[in-house]
Structure 1
Amino acid sequence: MEGDDIREMYQRSDKLHGVKYVNYISDGDSKIYKGVVTESPYGETIAIKKKECINYVQKWIGARLRTCKKGKPGIGGKLTAKLIDSLSNYYGLAIRRNTTSTENMYKAIWTTVYHMSSTDDMPKHHYCPQGADSWCTWQRANAKGPLAQYKHKDALLQIVLDVITPIYEDLSRKELLERCLGDFTQNNNESFSSLVWRIAPKIMPGSAIIV
């Protein structure tokens, strides 16, 4: 039903409103997007680009990490729920703060991994912003003077890095990051849906007339 509705919206948008939707903001379901492209509502000359809702993209990494945790015996106590939440938030911020450049987005995503896996013997803060105002405590200490007194917090263990690195490699692919350019979200749609469900909850029966 959702796919049919969206295809109908594309097909009638120009006739009813003089509007052509050139971006399709996805929630991860590629079947609906393929259906819209197949319909070619505006002819062959106007391509409809797929964009990702960055809120959903952030959820992907959290879901992947939690699934990985379940499938890797012995890592549960190291890849904690708190750590997964932190990694997900940092990943989401890296995208939101760099929605005009895939290169900056990629760099910011991996900055998190390098920063959190740094140790006194092997600091990896080369991507972290420099200066006394940096969010990176190592870079702040470096700007203020010698680093002899600086001590890193507990770093990501190698067993955790081995598990999360393939996930980060997959979710920092250029083609994915290109679909995140523009800072698109489905917040408006979700807000409208929330309002509708408050008026007509899914758990209560009702007819179209009542809605």
Structure 2
Amino acid sequence: MNSAGTWATVTSGISFSQFENVLGVLDVPAMSKNTFLKKEVEVEKVWLKHIDNALVEAGIEERRLAIEKGDVDDGMPFITVIVDGGWSKRSYGHNYTATSGMAVIIAERTGQLLFLGVRNKYCCICDRATKIGMEAKPHLCYKNWDENKPSTAMEQDINVEGFKMSEKMHGVRYKYFVGDGDSSVYAKLVQNVSYGRTIQKLECANHCIKNYTGHLHKLAADKTFPPDSRKLLKQSIPRLTAAARGAIRHCADEGETVDDSISDLKNWPYHVFGEHAQCRNYFCQKVESNENLKIITNAKLLDEITALVSRLEQKAPRLIKNKTSNAAEFYMSLLAKYNCGKRINLGQRGSFQRRCYVAGSERSCLGTKPI
């Protein structure tokens, strides 16, 4: 009964105190906190065993598919993977001090989990013993990360470990990987993985467009520009972002070149603001123009927008395949559910790590479900 209660607590995305409150309302006695922690360790073994088996099976399938497709270099099959990482608490863009972090490597072709790693820089038992100047009693310690190292480096370290193990674990190399705008992961892979110089990064199109949209909104809110031009830009942001996303998608679907993609990206702001001289027939047959481009140009907003577009142009070679990290984001959404929405500190005695395993177990059970 206690094991079932512990299983239900973790997989419901709540903590022991919430579990205790529910049973209290029902007038049912709950197990002690120590019993709950012991049972949590027991059920962790079940989840970990399931994930280990799922990783092996996923690797076998990916290797088979790569060989069938002829994706082999120097006698070693290669595949495309999706990588992403997260932490046990929200950073809000500036507070990267989480005590635990994790990262996943997911096969792009099948959507199956290939590697899951967790780093913990804190153990409450070790910390208490240190504070009172005593040696910690024998215990299961989850601390595997130097507390003096930055939490932001956890994702890089886990990905390096996963890439290093790809040949031994799955018999494949991760030649291409899809990731967000974090360039530090790619640099570490090139430096530390035996086949690092052959690894190529593909940008997540959704992340690039999200960043582009965010900067457009900042421009529209910048009061150094005239009000009429800012209002026009704000109204046009949905079209500007949809246009950029459409250009990336079209070039991938039609097998067009990087130069074609760059040409479309450069032209889209002009198209949105009414200038169609450089528009291609697949999306526009208009010839007339309007005053919107003049308003934006006179306010010098067009120069700012063009500068933002140039960032996308620089990434065009890595956007040409229109890849996204949706599979990894899906895992992160599962983890957020089990991780109590990052509202509770679960990084003291391995609870965060166990919930990573639960999310991984569910992700493996869902298999190649469309995302």
- Which structure's CA Rg is the greater one? 2
Instruction: Output one character per residue of 1:7-45: Cα deviation in whole Å (capped at 9) or x when no partner.
Output: 1110111101001001122211111111111103336xx
Structure number having the greater strand percentage:
2
**Percent of paired sites with the same residue:** 26
Aligned residue in 2 for 1:65: 216
Query: Quick one: which of 317, 338, 342 aligns to 1:178?
Result: 317
Report 1:1-211 matches (<5 A). Answer: 1-42=154-195, 47-71=198-222, 73-79=224-230, 80-99=233-252, 100=255, 101-118=257-274, 123-129=275-281, 135-136=283-284, 138=286, 152=289, 155-156=292-293, 157=295, 158=297, 159=299, 160-173=301-314, 176-201=315-340, 202-206=342-346, 207-208=351-352, 211=355
Instruction: Output one character per residue of 1:116-158: Cα deviation in whole Å (capped at 9) or x when no partner.
Output: 333xxxx5333231xxxx643526xxxxxxxxxxx65552321
Q: CA deviation at 1:209?
A: 7.1
One-letter amino acid of the structure 2 residue matched with residue 104 of structure 1: D
Check conservation: 1:25, 1:50, Cα contact below 8 A: yes
One-letter amino acid of the structure 2 residue matched with residue 188 of structure 1: A
Change (3 A) 1:180 1:57: same
SS for the counterpart of 1:97 is: helix
For structure 2, list consecutive stretches of 5 or more residues without a partner in the other structure: 1-153, 356-371
SS for the counterpart of 1:128 is: coil
SS for the counterpart of 1:172 is: helix
Structure 1 CA distance for aligned equivalents of residues 220 and 324 of structure 2: 28
Aligned residue in 2 for 1:147: none
One-letter amino acid of the structure 2 residue matched with residue 31 of structure 1: S
Give the TM-score normalised by the residue count of structure 2. Answer: 0.46
Give the TM-score normalised by the residue count of structure 1. Answer: 0.77
Structure 1 CA distance for aligned equivalents of residues 191 and 323 of structure 2: 23
RMSD: 2.4
For structure 1, list consecutive stretches of 5 or more residues without a partner in the other structure: 140-150
